[in-house]
Structure 1
């Protein structure tokens, strides 16, 4: 998972027209036209509002979106592991969050027993 901060966004190149879709967390993602979309920004307006987790999971698992899904808004390092498991590929951290701490947290677990949005097969079903 790629972690970004305000400095990264300032130097980021603008995406091509139609390649970026910014989605509010109350939108039903199944109603979206994803033709030509390369990146979807999902919003976390506050830490306690997790609807974007469900949106990311639906985009990856049910709709098969293979592009970049970016978390924006009130994004804390505490959420990163769950974000990655729900299908997020990037996160723009809140200004007071340390990307180094986020990277360390993402490396803490080597695997999970159950499948998730990007690794569908449960651990018990994997061959050595």
Structure 2
């Protein structure tokens, strides 16, 4: 499954482990929330980065005590109509200040890429290579937004105000 990160197709250093898969001694791992919460201390002490696959029906606040130690949080989109992972992403970025990699996984569709970027996602697991290639074009398509979010981009209103201020209008 192709991974898009930083606007381009990237290698995924993380190995996904099931709840009952033996834990490798080293290397980057992505584990289900259930496994992570049951043995967080041991997982975080091992060599390699740790990521968590977080379902959208679980309270994201359970993850807050570990956010400074987790390299990746993979939020699950079980189907294209279910947008709870968008809310989880915004909570992680805006309320809890998570600065690690935020990954979209599951039903990640190309027409939702811009919305996912705006919600704070950094990387995307896509089903098809063509979707990974389309992401690069989609991410560059829009440069001005009206709604504020936690992605750090200024809104159209703030951009206009900056321009007016720099031109000395209204003084």
Q: Which of the five TM-score ranges fits, normalised by the shorter chain? A: 0.7 to 0.9
Q: TM-score, normalised by structure 2?
A: 0.64
As a proportion of its length, which structure holds more helix?
2
Please name the residue that 2:24 is paired with: none
Structure 2 counterpart SS, 1:22 = strand
Tell me how large the CA RMSD over aligned residues is. 2.4
The whole-number CA distance in structure 1 between the counterparts of 2:8 and 2:81 is: 21
The whole-number CA distance in structure 1 between the counterparts of 2:150 and 2:124 is: 16
CA contact (8 A) 2:8 2:136 kept: no
Structure 1 counterpart SS, 2:111 = helix
* Bigger CA radius of gyration: 2
CA contact (8 A) 2:148 2:155 kept: yes
The whole-number CA distance in structure 1 between the counterparts of 2:11 and 2:102 is: 16
**Consecutive unaligned residues in structure 1, runs of 5 or more:** none
Please name the residue that 1:15 is paired with: 28
The whole-number CA distance in structure 2 between the counterparts of 1:50 and 1:26 is: 11
Please name the residue that 1:24 is paired with: 55
Q: Render the CA deviation track for 1:24-51: whole Å, top value 9, x for unaligned.
A: 1111112213241111011111111111
Q: TM-score, normalised by structure 1?
A: 0.83
CA contact (8 A) 1:115 1:123 kept: no
Q: Render the CA deviation track for 1:97-120: whole Å, top value 9, x for unaligned.
A: 522222111111112122112126
Please name the residue that 1:94 is paired with: 127
CA contact (8 A) 1:86 1:118 kept: yes
